[in-house]
Amino acid sequence: MPDLSTDAFFLAQCQQLGAQAAEQGESPVGAMVVRAGRVLAAATEATQSMHTITAHAELLALQAAREVLGHPNLSDCTLYSTHEPCVMCAYAIRYHGIGRVVYEQGSPYLGGASASGPILTTTQVPPHWAPPPTVKQWPSADEAAPTSAGQA
């Protein structure tokens, strides 16, 4: 009988989820949230089928775990994923206070644990991505903010 508390066991389940995602034309990513050896939530990547870039397996698993528990505090949980969570997912992981993250495949471009630098403007991204946008903070240091009508 497999040891249900091992990282290898849960990562193997994530691999199965990732294979399911790939069969559906998605990126091969599977994720699950586990608490005290019990799977609270499991999800596959669904960006294509849901028509939204935010349908990452990690985000979907976090949302489902939150619904199961009825609150956003996931500090006593572990998030397992086939891939290193991206910076978007990393923000949600931090927001929900996940206590532990275990992943298999790193993501050197945009991984939430290994990437560095300004994600919005870096050119160190996957080759199929568009060039970085022009970015401007308003007001800039040399520009004054517009005043409201009637104010001096």
- Directed axis angle between helix 7-23 and helix 57-69, to 10°? 120
DSSP tag of 111 = B
Residue written as token pair 């028509």: 51
Catalytic residue among 58, 67, 84, 143: 58
Is there a catalytic annotation at residue 58?
yes
Side-chain-facing half-sphere of 20: CA atoms under 13 Å = 14
Contacts made by residues 7-10, CB under 8 angstroms, sequence distance 24+? 7/80, 7/102, 10/34, 10/39, 10/78, 10/80, 10/102
- Total Cβ atoms within 10 A of residue 34: 24
Active-site positions read 58
